[in-house]
Chain A
Amino acid sequence: GENVEQHPSTLSVQEGDSAVIKCTYSDSASNYFPWYKQELGKRPQLIIDIRSNVGEKKDQRIAVTLNKTAKHFSLHITETQPEDSAVYFCASGNTPLVFGKGTRLSVIA
């Protein structure tokens, strides 16, 4: 089955800097790669996703890149703000999705 590794587990950045979170996956048949943001005590919410037929997708300050050959994908957040502080999860697979263990991002004002 699919295995997803996510790094780093914690990340602290200064406000305005960029943050990058990386995930690797094992199943070459996986074709859907979403990223979720979870604030403390709340539900995970989808922030961006990418399918295997594209290499990059951008939505304002958030972008995701996918390298199918190397089986890894990354989340990039530019111009970070304090409200970006949360736990971020990557996921991969078909049905069901397999989630990474999460990255706790702290943006320091």
Chain B
Amino acid sequence: DGGITQSPKYLFRKEGQNVTLSCEQNLNHDAMYWYRQDPGQGLRLIYYSQIVNDFQKGDIAEGYSVSREKKESFPLTVTSAQKNPTAFYLCASSIGGQHQETQYFGPGTRLLVL
């Protein structure tokens, strides 16, 4: 999991502002994921990508957008349409392919609303 980095560690968002969370991996993994974690809650899937230039919505995609222009990078944008964005955001990656493999998580970004 040391091969996945997220930045920044903390991010502050003002009302009506879009912010972008960075996720980079050097594990040569095809699949990447974004999860949202609220206090005392589990991991809820926002978006995932199994290959470059392709991604799918997860359970809570509304108010978020992603891109996958490079294999190593999967940035998440929290748009102004997301009315309650305060949470801990975790990026993960896995080898990908037909069968599920271990997902490795980044250190997370904590997003706070001013």
A97 touching B100 by the CB < 8 A rule?
Answer: yes
Additional A-B contacts beyond A44-B43, A95-B94 (7; CB < 8 A): A43-B90, A43-B107, A44-B105, A46-B103, A89-B43, A95-B96, A100-B42
A32 touching B43 by the CB < 8 A rule?
Answer: no
A96 touching B105 by the CB < 8 A rule?
Answer: no
The size bracket of the interface on B is 20 to 34
Judged by a CB distance under 8 angstroms, whether A31 is at the interface is yes
A96 with B106, Cβ < 8 A, contacts A31-B100, A44-B43, A101-B41 known: no
B42 touching A96 by the CB < 8 A rule?
Answer: no
Q: Which residues of B contact A49 (CB under 8 A)?
A: 102
A95 touching B31 by the CB < 8 A rule?
Answer: yes
Q: Which residues of A contact B106 (CB under 8 A)?
A: 43
In order of increasing CB-CB distance, the 6 nearest A-B pairs are A101-B42, A43-B105, A32-B100, A99-B43, A94-B100, A96-B48
B36: min CB distance to chain A, Å = 12
A41: min CB distance to chain B, Å = 8
B57: min CB distance to chain A, Å = 11
Judged by a CB distance under 8 angstroms, whether B25 is at the interface is no
